[in-house]
Structure 1
Amino acid sequence: MKKVFWVLITCLLVVMVNVPRLVQQKPLPAFLESDFVFPEMGCSVLYAADENVVLGGNNEDFINPFTRVWFLPPEENAYGRVYFGYDGFLWQGGVNDHGLFTDALAMEEGITVDQGDKPLYPGTLSDKALAECDRVACVIDLFSTYHTNDVWRFSFLFGDAYGDSVIIEPNGFLLKEGAYQVATNFYQTTTDSYHCEHEACGRFRTASQIFETAPKFSVEVMREALAAVHFEGSSPTLYSNIYDLKNNLIYLYYFYDYETEVVIDIAAELAQGPHSYALADLFPGNTAAQNWSKKMAADVKSRQDAYPTFPDNPAVYESLSGEYQLTPPGAFYDTLWVAVENKELVLKIKPDKAWLDLTAFEPDSFHHVSMFYDFTLHFLFGPDGQAQQFVYTQDGENFTYVRTGMDVIQATEIPIPTATLPATTELSPLIATPTDLSPTNTVPAEPSTNPQPAAERSGFWLVIPGVILFGVVVWILRKQK
């Protein structure tokens, strides 16, 4: 009986020691848990080339109605680029002014990739490819040289104006064989596309059959293929684009309406300088899209309106801009950047992708609210008036990022330099301990792409056994008496 007693006491002590540790563990913010890949994404990327035309095609299927197109003019060391995607510079694919296009496809299964002796590329390798390459061979060389992600949940299709294309998967490269190439949401290096029963394999076979039976390729044939594999319902085809890679034209369609077409002259748009459009503004008559997105747009606006308004003060942006490191490190993105882009303050998740606009709601605090994100940044300043660190807060969880080259602020209270604020602003002191910060207005955050059950986060499954063990110990003691 004594042995049983001491075993139970030992188990109880182990539980009591570990429960506080689990309770203190914090889930990572949504953008730190994934590389902007969501299981609801279902896309089809196509390529077809003959002696007359070279075409790329894409259906973007997802649940985010806030779609945009961006135009980035050529620079000294970069080709001009056109990107399509979602608010916050969350682009998914695009084309450059030398006839190279790409788009990405989300996958249900993640595949671990060993870095080996490859250097880690800090940005998005697809952007580097469109900025520097005009041929598929150059793209293959880049992906062979650099390591991009430890876990791939995506693949890419690249096609150039010279008749070459390639599908890039974590397990290798698939060069085009024949006159066309089709990619949907499954790994072709590990799946028999003509016998698998996955829905994505069905789309692959449908598009392939259209190309196989076409007497010649054309914009009309590419449009027929995209229309044949489009989605409706909860995760519809938000936009489709056909790239005429020889003539630098884009044929754009919105919300699976393949009868209404907008033609984009790439050279003419790039000549206007950096700019972007909301795709909805290019297709104002699409009532189906308006009705489908109405509820989501209202939800985002209500969450934005929950924050108080504060006068915009671009004069402080320079004092906030810089590179910040997560302290302690350990998240998917240990480094974030605060910068000014097109006169707006943004939080950059990557140097070349995911630039989330920041809106002030206090002198030292900013928020971002969009389809999937709802967070605040609270800045702490050093004696020189420069931001020294910020605390990222989402869903009541706090993460401290320290500006590169600076130390963590230990002072109990550091005032904001009054010279950087509007004269009418009433200053409020900063809270002493960064890890205890919480936003002034608690706004419900969007769930992460892989949310943990609340019971797991709180150590629930260890608390209950601890209570049971305690009861057993008490019962044994009573029996001994």
Structure 2
Amino acid sequence: MKRLNLILLTLGILFQQQANACSIFTCSKNGQTLVGANEDEYTSFHYMWFVPATDNKYGAVFFGKNNMQTQAGMNEHGLFFDFAAIPRIESKNREVNFVTTAEILASCKNIEEALEMFKKYTFSAFSSQMLMADASGKSVLINADTIVHKTGDYQITTNFNVCNLQDNNYDCLRYDKIDNALAQTKDISVPFFREILDDVHQEGKVSTQYSNIYDLKNREIHINWFHNYNESIVIDLKEELEKGFRMENLWDLFNEKTFAAMNFQESEDSYYYHLIANEVEQKGVEAGIKMFEQFVNDHPDKAARIKEDFTWIPYSLIAKARVAYDNLSFDYYYIPFLTDYRMIWQSENKMLFQALKILEYIKSNNLNQNGFHFHEMVGYINMVLGKKEVSIKNYQKAIATVEKGSREEIRATKTLKKIKGTKFLPQADENLKYLKQTPPTTTPKVFAPDLISKKGEYEFGSVFNEKGTEFFYAVNVNGKEEIRCSELAASEWSKPKTIFSHELYGYNDPFLSTDEQRLYFISQRSMDGLTKKDDYDIWYANRTENGWSEPMNAGPNINTDADEYYISFTNDGTMYFSSNKNNGNFDIYISEMVDGEFQDPESLGEAINTSHYEADVFVAPDGSYLIFCATRPDGFGQGDFYISFKDTDGTWTKSRNMGDLVNSKGHELCPFVSKDGKFLFYTSNQDIYWVDAKIIGNYRN
């Protein structure tokens, strides 16, 4: 039989699971199109993540593993896919191009468009069979042998090659049960599909971890956890995509945890890996390493497996950084980004630095057993960070450790060739940084006079990106604020251009997120953007290929009916900001980022907040100090800068006035220290000033 021009990198390629996992079926009757799917797996750690639409990609939800390995998904147009394991279809090794199902959902609305896209590729998921369906009721089964279109009301896949249906050469009770139920029914519904899923669910080493029912026309998903069909949650895809990118642990979404579910989770081999990975993401690398060392000490009989699993955590972090970069998930469990040498991408996402830190720990503690994988990861991360020479050096070391002609050698060689031939986005030359301005001494001076700080204008809220190639700031124009940006390109800084403004309300206090993929700011914009509010909220825009997305509100955990001002972040994504929600008095608050969501803010306490005005807070990326504006009796003018340092016990020292070196009779506000730690920027006398950041050390003692 003719091989298909399609390769889908899927979980089936690497796991090669026994052919007894997953039951998937779709049926269209009486104007409804539903899909039912039991995800039968060896592991109980499963996640759901939402990838919003961009200018050229459709939004979608995906289900899969912590490392972004995709098992199933549905996009905003109701195009769906899922996979079942089947016996391996033998094929000759050959050079192939590939496309991921994530790319298909990002690019296609229906089966016709997906099949047209498939024509360019080769299907090499030789141990998997995919069911794809759309909102019109059409569906197909695809494997490396064939494409089979649905001809009746329904279509099913379990764990045998669909080609075997032609002569009834299969033995699968689950398939027969589903077939019988769908053939006899005159109507379909979510409860009916749930009954079928319950009837064919599995228990044991391979258990039904979660069961999904997709309503393709209404873009809803009904989810049950660990074959408990008494408790369900319902996902409205449109509503969830509007909330932005985030990842949810399916386990956390359900209130009822059965004994069977808890016992299965605690007994699986990768249990400790997932706990450590979650600790790293929620509390940082140091906390994750501490947990890892504790597990090794407490469970000597499992220490070898815990150590091996720990070395895989950097892969998960890199994968998530990639998804944050271009909103595409992966289908391929085993380092998908490393096999994709089609594209060089650059980012400074904090998860890349976390991955490097873990790799340093792995090396220093002799945990690495595979020199190829270690150097390939280090090389790949440095490629993404724009450190071309370091990347090349590590790829060369990786290639030297494996046999010539091996899959690893071919992959790394192609990636190395791509890196060598790619012109990387440069770090700004020191002479070009800071808009080519002559750096200040420890005496403050106006920044970029007549270019940024202009007579007759009120500039404030300035921030540079880490590479020193972008500069954002706010300007008050005729009583209304707007945000402008200047960019370095071809050794020249562009003329500042307005990127956010509105005739009814303003935008100000710009600040970049830790990974620099979001620009945060404040605005009196209403939620629908049509009117002006009485108070300021914190908003953000996502970086896109063409600039920035439409503004999105930071949400009710942050914003209130009072004012929220000025934003800054630590490396772990914790937001520092100010609000006058406490009886109209401005204080400084922090909100931790957990699983992509800002948590309820907490006041910084009496060392920082008083009965007077405290606002416009800048926190050092490592959380070691903060500078903020306050109006207090010991001040020099309308508003002064105060500074506080993080003590050894984790508390803040009593804040102190920074004196007349930076404070004046006027109002000092909007502090920002450049990412290289060299300069303090701030606003005074309606202009932006800068000063050598060495002065900060003077206050530490």
TM-score of the aligned structures, taking structure 1 as reference length:
0.61
Whether the 8 Å CA contact 1:183–1:204 is kept in 2: the answer is: yes
1:292 to 264, 268, 272: 264
- Mean Cα displacement is larger for which, 104-113 or 83-92? 104-113
Match of 1:245 in 2: 216
| Root mean square deviation, CA, Å | 4.4
Q: CA deviation at 1:299?
A: 4.1
Equivalent-residue separation in structure 2 for 1:340 and 1:285 (angstroms): 40
Whether the 8 Å CA contact 1:64–1:86 is kept in 2: the answer is: no
Match of 1:142 in 2: 117
Equivalent-residue separation in structure 2 for 1:299 and 1:207 (angstroms): 36
User: Percent identity, aligned pairs only?
Assistant: 27
2:85 to 79, 103, 106: 106
Letter in 2 for 1:162: S
Equivalent-residue separation in structure 1 for 2:24 and 2:10 (angstroms): 27
Equivalent-residue separation in structure 2 for 1:76 and 1:268 (angstroms): 18
Match of 1:182 in 2: 156
Would you say 1:46 and 2:21 are equivalent positions?
A: no
Equivalent-residue separation in structure 2 for 1:64 and 1:341 (angstroms): 31
Letter in 1 for 2:71: Q
Q: How does 1:308-387 map to 2 (within 5 A)?
A: 333=339, 335=341, 343-345=350-352, 360-362=358-360, 376-377=374-375, 379=378, 386-387=390-391
Whether the 8 Å CA contact 2:194–2:229 is kept in 1: the answer is: yes
Equivalent-residue separation in structure 1 for 2:156 and 2:230 (angstroms): 23
Q: CA deviation at 1:238?
A: 0.8
Equivalent-residue separation in structure 1 for 2:11 and 2:252 (angstroms): 32
Equivalent-residue separation in structure 2 for 1:168 and 1:214 (angstroms): 26
Match of 1:262 in 2: 233
Whether the 8 Å CA contact 1:211–1:221 is kept in 2: the answer is: no
Equivalent-residue separation in structure 1 for 2:248 and 2:39 (angstroms): 17
Equivalent-residue separation in structure 2 for 1:248 and 1:361 (angstroms): 41
Q: CA deviation at 1:128?
A: 2.7
Q: Deviations over 1:65-122 (max 9, x none)?
A: 221011010112211111101111101111001011110112122232798xxx9543
Higher relative contact order (CA 8 A, sep 6+): 1
Q: CA deviation at 1:222?
A: 1.1
Letter in 2 for 1:208: D
Equivalent-residue separation in structure 2 for 1:283 and 1:357 (angstroms): 30
Whether the 8 Å CA contact 1:120–1:146 is kept in 2: the answer is: no
Equivalent-residue separation in structure 1 for 2:189 and 2:62 (angstroms): 23
Q: Deviations over 1:262-293 (max 9, x none)?
A: 10110111011111101111124323222111
Whether the 8 Å CA contact 2:124–2:144 is kept in 1: the answer is: no
Letter in 1 for 2:263: N
Equivalent-residue separation in structure 2 for 1:216 and 1:232 (angstroms): 29
Equivalent-residue separation in structure 2 for 1:233 and 1:102 (angstroms): 26
Letter in 2 for 1:258: Y
Letter in 1 for 2:51: L
Equivalent-residue separation in structure 2 for 1:358 and 1:149 (angstroms): 34
Match of 1:74 in 2: 53
Letter in 1 for 2:352: L
Match of 1:450 in 2: none
Whether the 8 Å CA contact 2:24–2:157 is kept in 1: the answer is: yes
Q: Deviations over 1:405-463 (max 9, x none)?
A: 567xxxxxxxxxxxx9xxx9xxxxxxxxxxxxxxxxxxxxxxxxxxxxxxxxxxxxxxx
Structure 1 residues 405, 139: CA separation in 2 closer, same or farther (over 3 Å shift)?
closer
Match of 2:497 in 1: none
Whether the 8 Å CA contact 2:356–2:378 is kept in 1: the answer is: no
Q: Compare CA radii of gyration and give the structure with the larger one.
A: 2
Whether the 8 Å CA contact 2:164–2:170 is kept in 1: the answer is: no
Q: Specify every segment of 5 or more residues in structure 2 that has no aligned partner in the other structure, as ranges.
A: 1-8, 277-294, 296-305, 326-337, 421-466, 468-621, 623-701
Letter in 2 for 1:132: S
Equivalent-residue separation in structure 1 for 2:255 and 2:348 (angstroms): 27
Whether the 8 Å CA contact 1:358–1:366 is kept in 2: the answer is: no
Whether the 8 Å CA contact 1:214–1:221 is kept in 2: the answer is: no
Letter in 2 for 1:98: H
Whether the 8 Å CA contact 2:141–2:147 is kept in 1: the answer is: yes
Match of 1:232 in 2: 203
Structure 1 residues 282, 357: CA separation in 2 closer, same or farther (over 3 Å shift)?
farther
Match of 1:449 in 2: none
Whether the 8 Å CA contact 1:37–1:154 is kept in 2: the answer is: no
Structure 1 residues 32, 44: CA separation in 2 closer, same or farther (over 3 Å shift)?
closer
Would you say 1:390 and 2:394 are equivalent positions?
A: yes
- How many residue pairs end up in the alignment? 342
Structure 1 residues 100, 293: CA separation in 2 closer, same or farther (over 3 Å shift)?
same
Match of 1:207 in 2: 178
Match of 1:123 in 2: 99
Match of 1:470 in 2: none
Equivalent-residue separation in structure 2 for 1:154 and 1:384 (angstroms): 37
Q: CA deviation at 1:220?
A: 1.1
Whether the 8 Å CA contact 1:339–1:345 is kept in 2: the answer is: no
Equivalent-residue separation in structure 1 for 2:71 and 2:218 (angstroms): 22
Structure 1 residues 251, 384: CA separation in 2 closer, same or farther (over 3 Å shift)?
closer
For residue 113 of structure 2, give the secondary structure of its aligned residue in structure 1: helix
Whether the 8 Å CA contact 2:79–2:109 is kept in 1: the answer is: yes
For residue 194 of structure 2, give the secondary structure of its aligned residue in structure 1: helix
TM-score of the aligned structures, taking structure 2 as reference length:
0.43
For residue 216 of structure 1, give the secondary structure of its aligned residue in structure 2: coil
Equivalent-residue separation in structure 1 for 2:12 and 2:103 (angstroms): 21
2:35 to 56, 66, 73: 56
Q: Deviations over 1:342-368 (max 9, x none)?
A: 64229xxxxxxxxx966524289699x
Equivalent-residue separation in structure 2 for 1:34 and 1:338 (angstroms): 27
Whether the 8 Å CA contact 2:10–2:125 is kept in 1: the answer is: no
Structure 1 residues 405, 342: CA separation in 2 closer, same or farther (over 3 Å shift)?
closer
Whether the 8 Å CA contact 2:226–2:261 is kept in 1: the answer is: yes
For residue 268 of structure 1, give the secondary structure of its aligned residue in structure 2: helix
Q: CA deviation at 1:157?
A: 0.7
Q: Deviations over 1:229-255 (max 9, x none)?
A: 111100001111111111111101111
- Mean Cα displacement is larger for which, 34-43 or 210-219? 34-43
